[in-house]
Amino acid sequence: MPLVTIRLFEGRSQEQKAELAKKLTDAVTASLNVPVDAVEVILDEVPRENWAKAGVQFGLKK
């Protein structure tokens, strides 16, 4: 069972997340030749203030 985990900032719509899950599932089924019902997708939404790049939190003003 392939499991795809994506971490992303909070704030996307349900429609955007559903489209992403569908496209990821399609890519995995095509690449690995597995049935659609074998693919699982986890969208791990993270608040901006809990994410940093180059030592700076995204939720903070510079």
35 a catalytic residue: no
Determine the Cα–Cα distance for residues 34 and 7; give it in Å rounded to an integer. 23
Instruction: Considering the candidates 1, 2, 33, 51, report the single residue annotated as catalytic.
Output: 2
DSSP 13: -
Q: How far is the C-alpha of 3 from the C-alpha of 54, rounded, in Å? A: 29
List active site positions: 2
